[in-house]
A and B are shown apart, each in its own frame.
Chain A
Amino acid sequence: MTQYVIRRLLQAIPLLFLINVFIFVLLKAAGDPFAYLALDPTVSEEDRAFLRRSLGLDDPVYMQFIHWYFGDDWYMRDLDFDGENDTFGRRKGILRGDFGQSIRFSRPVTEVIAQRLPNTLILGSSALLVTVIAGVSIGVFAALRPYTFLDNLITSISFLTFSMPIFLIALLGVLFFSITLDNLGLPHLPVQGMYDPRGDRSIDELLIRLILPTMSIAAISTARYARFMRGSMLEVINADYIRTARAKGISQRRITWIHALKNASIPLVTLISLDIPFILSGAVVTETIFSWPGMGRLFIESLNILDPPVLLIFTLMVAVGVVIFQVVADILYAWVDPRIRFN
């Protein structure tokens, strides 16, 4: 198995490299990160030229590419514009563990991401938790009474939420739980951000502000988990060993929640581990709607002002996550289902 993991990870390296090259080229094509400074009267043309030069944006594109990987501390640039190269760069390149500086924040990309990642993990994991619990319960509930009125109702509702853009669900949540309750003079849920800018940063406040974004994400993804769980449960519940268990006189509840659920949730392991890297990338739309300061917002903000180092590391991180969790999914799958062997 160790061999399998190592092989998979090694195979992924060219893939990750390709993705990085692809994004790099795209961002070069997207234009000048300092274009916005041209509109700022307090920044002189010379300052702009110096900034571009010192960050290496004037180098030929292939050199910029080499610098991104190997750094530029061995490469001289002409920073005082006298026609002679005089100053070495200071970057070490991502292969030597230097992930670059954010242009917008003038801080290392790792710091910027480290600041946002926990916020996304809080939102993402609470949404995943709600989704899995709700999805599994609804799926099992529907599978126990297939093709009845309740099952059909659940199917229709999952079709509906499946077809909803997340901003509509978010809006309906806000209308009911925030605006209407507020108009009635009742306690209502806050809408914007993780914390009240005036208030304390207590855990209670965070939990309250988590409710609406979490529910918006969960409302949409629960449908997928429920459909999946229903199908998987229906398959298991007709298996011979379930009939045997029933014949032995084990209670229906025990059969459903212990015997059947155990086997029915094997495919769920894959579904969840493949979803996790997408949580890392943050729910871009949800975080924008609720002004949640997470990775998704960081991505959109960096894209708006074109901050290539942040965007490159962000996409690389997500791609690494996808690769790793694909391997994790395979391993977990084989671990929970002994019938599967690595070949």
Chain B
Amino acid sequence: MADSVLKQKKSNIATITSEKDLKSRSIYAIATRRFFQHKMAVAGTIMLTFIVLYVTVGAAFFTEADGNRTSILDKTEAPSAEFWFGSDLVGRDIFVRTIYGGQISIAIGVVSVFISICLGTLIGVLSGFFGGVVDALLGRLTEMFLSIPPLILLLVLSSVIIQSSTTMTILGREISSTVVFIVALIGLTSWMQLSRIVRGQVLSLKEQEYIMAARAIGASNWGIISRHLLPNIIAPVIVAATLGIGTAIITEAYLSFLGFGVQPPTATWGNILTGAQDRIDTVWWMWMAPGFFIVCTVLAINFIGDGLRDALDPRSIQ
């Protein structure tokens, strides 16, 4: 009899929910749908697609050498038919530089966030899960990094590394070695917020019964962390990663603007401004194009991050 009741229930479910609804049962499917219902997130995705197209397709029409060619006769030209976005203090074409600089800026954002996410998650999980001395030591380390404004810390660090600026070949491109260092530095100095979030999450998760159950059946610490804890903290990590890319792009721009970022010949959206520090009222076009691209990219990323936050919030998934 119990069998027949079960069958009846099953058939009921089958009739109520159509094939299409059944498909969207997974939380990731729901999250995807919610993401695409978020208007700003969709706008952000479209904006970001256009910017990525600009820096990739644009590279097919102009070579990096076009962007690095200096011409003292054409210095500080206002935007014209020849120089669409104007030229800089040594006559380089800012339009071409925004294409190649954009590639570097976006790459710096993505890779440095990857580093900071790995570090932040690792440190957060370790201190939340093991507690005690580990937590105390990592907590002090986090505090130390939080006690100096990030930009100040980064400036001191990069003043050390830009002393040894050479060029290296990555993916067939000759780029300044400072790119690699700046990526590492931004990654190493931006993990603190995330590690605090992850620590908090782990602290509350590890008290839950399913973790106790896992322990009871003999799961190892690493098994519990990788199989049971990490999947449950992935949502805040994804959101922090997305928003982090925007912050990293702005940070790189500030560093390069102050002369402590990526060194020539490699262009970034930040170092296109190099040398324009004291001339805000004369060569405004040097600021306009890179500034515009930075705002659009960061804005798009922030929209996407906001959309992801809403889409991945388990409380809002029915």
Chain A, 28-48, CB within 8 A of any chain B CB: 29-31
The reply on B65 being an interface residue by CB < 8 A is no
With A167-B287, A323-B147 known to touch, is A315 a contact of B281 (CB < 8 Å)?
A: no
The reply on A168 being an interface residue by CB < 8 A is yes
Q: How many whole Å from B160's CB to the nearest CB in chain A?
A: 4
CB 8 Å contact bits of B263-289 with A (1 = contact, 0 = none) = 000000000010001101100100110
Which of B151, B152, B157, B284 lies in contact with A175, CB distance below 8 A?
B284
Are B149 and A281 closer than 8 Å at their CB atoms? yes
Q: Which 9 A-B pairs have the closest CB atoms?
A: A168-B291, A163-B298, A163-B299, A171-B287, A30-B160, A319-B147, A322-B147, A191-B281, A29-B160
Are A289 and B277 closer than 8 Å at their CB atoms? yes
With A167-B273, A300-B258, A318-B152 known to touch, is A26 a contact of B143 (CB < 8 Å)?
A: no
A304 contact set on B, CB distance < 8 A: 259
The reply on B294 being an interface residue by CB < 8 A is yes
A31 contact set on B, CB distance < 8 A: 163
Q: How many whole Å from A266's CB to the nearest CB in chain B?
A: 21
Binds A, one of B168-176, B224-232, B233-241, B249-257: B249-257
The reply on A288 being an interface residue by CB < 8 A is yes
Q: How many whole Å from B151's CB to the nearest CB in chain A?
A: 6
With A163-B302, A300-B155 known to touch, is A168 a contact of B295 (CB < 8 Å)?
A: yes
The reply on A335 being an interface residue by CB < 8 A is no
Q: Which residue of A lies closest to B280 (CB)?
A: A174
Which of A18, A30, A178 lies in contact with B163, CB distance below 8 A?
A30
Q: Which residue of A lies closest to B298 (CB)?
A: A163
Are A306 and B159 closer than 8 Å at their CB atoms? yes
**How far is it, in angstroms, between the C-alpha of A322 and the C-alpha of B147 when the chains are bound?**
6
The reply on B303 being an interface residue by CB < 8 A is yes
**How far is it, in angstroms, between the C-alpha of A315 and the C-alpha of B154 when the chains are bound?**
12
Chain B, 304-318, CB within 8 A of any chain A CB: 306
Given A285-B151, A299-B152, A315-B156, 14 further pairs, Cβ under 8 A? A18-B140, A26-B156, A30-B156, A171-B291, A179-B281, A179-B284, A284-B254, A284-B258, A285-B254, A288-B258, A291-B278, A303-B156, A315-B152, A318-B148
5 A-B contacts (beta carbon < 8 Å): A29-B160, A168-B295, A191-B281, A315-B156, A322-B148
Central interface residue in B148, B151, B260, B273, by most chain A CB within 10 Å: B148
The reply on A159 being an interface residue by CB < 8 A is yes
Name A's B-contacting residues (CB within 8 A).
Answer: 14-16, 18-19, 22-23, 26-27, 29-31, 156, 159-160, 162-168, 170-171, 174-175, 178-179, 191-192, 278, 281, 284-285, 288-291, 299-300, 303-304, 306, 311, 314-315, 318-319, 322-323
With A168-B295, A179-B284, A300-B258 known to touch, is A288 a contact of B148 (CB < 8 Å)?
A: no
Are A159 and B273 closer than 8 Å at their CB atoms? no
Are B147 and A284 closer than 8 Å at their CB atoms? no
Q: Which residue of B lies closest to A288 (CB)?
A: B277
A165 contact set on B, CB distance < 8 A: 250, 253-254, 257, 291, 294-295
Are A167 and B284 closer than 8 Å at their CB atoms? no
Are B149 and A278 closer than 8 Å at their CB atoms? yes
**How far is it, in angstroms, between the C-alpha of A159 and the C-alpha of B160 when the chains are bound?**
34
Q: How many whole Å from B113's CB to the nearest CB in chain A?
A: 16
**How far is it, in angstroms, between the C-alpha of A339 and the C-alpha of B155 when the chains are bound?**
41
Q: Which residue of A lies closest to B292 (CB)?
A: A168
Are A163 and B287 closer than 8 Å at their CB atoms? no
Name B's A-contacting residues (CB within 8 A).
Answer: 40, 140, 143-144, 146-149, 151-152, 155-157, 159-160, 163, 246, 250, 253-254, 257-260, 273, 277-278, 280-281, 284, 287-288, 291-292, 294-295, 298-299, 301-303, 306
B280 contact set on A, CB distance < 8 A: 167, 170-171, 174, 191, 289-290
Q: Which residue of B lies closest to A171 (CB)?
A: B287
Q: Is the interface of B mostly helix, strand, loop or mixed?
A: helix
A162 contact set on B, CB distance < 8 A: 302
Which of B148, B157, B259 lies in contact with A19, CB distance below 8 A?
B148
Q: How many whole Å from A319's CB to the nearest CB in chain B?
A: 4
Are B155 and A299 closer than 8 Å at their CB atoms? yes
Q: Which residue of B lies closest to A283 (CB)?
A: B151
**How far is it, in angstroms, between the C-alpha of A315 and the C-alpha of B149 when the chains are bound?**
9
Q: Which residue of B lies closest to A314 (CB)?
A: B152
Which of B257, B287, B294, B299 lies in contact with A159, CB distance below 8 A?
B299
Are A284 and B155 closer than 8 Å at their CB atoms? yes
B292 contact set on A, CB distance < 8 A: 168
Are A26 and B148 closer than 8 Å at their CB atoms? no
Are B254 and A171 closer than 8 Å at their CB atoms? no
A164 contact set on B, CB distance < 8 A: 291, 294-295, 298
**How far is it, in angstroms, between the C-alpha of A40 and the C-alpha of B258 when the chains are bound?**
25
**How far is it, in angstroms, between the C-alpha of A175 and the C-alpha of B259 when the chains are bound?**
24
Q: Which residue of B lies closest to A321 (CB)?
A: B147
Are B159 and A315 closer than 8 Å at their CB atoms? no
Are A30 and B159 closer than 8 Å at their CB atoms? yes
Q: Which residue of B lies closest to A312 (CB)?
A: B156
B306 contact set on A, CB distance < 8 A: 159
**How far is it, in angstroms, between the C-alpha of A171 and the C-alpha of B257 when the chains are bound?**
14
Are B156 and A311 closer than 8 Å at their CB atoms? yes
**How far is it, in angstroms, between the C-alpha of A22 and the C-alpha of B148 when the chains are bound?**
11
**How far is it, in angstroms, between the C-alpha of A228 and the C-alpha of B246 when the chains are bound?**
20
Are B278 and A163 closer than 8 Å at their CB atoms? no
Central interface residue in A163, A171, A322, by most chain B CB within 10 Å: A163
Q: How many whole Å from B189's CB to the nearest CB in chain A?
A: 12
B257 contact set on A, CB distance < 8 A: 165, 167, 285, 288
**How far is it, in angstroms, between the C-alpha of A212 and the C-alpha of B143 when the chains are bound?**
34
**How far is it, in angstroms, between the C-alpha of A169 and the C-alpha of B124 when the chains are bound?**
35
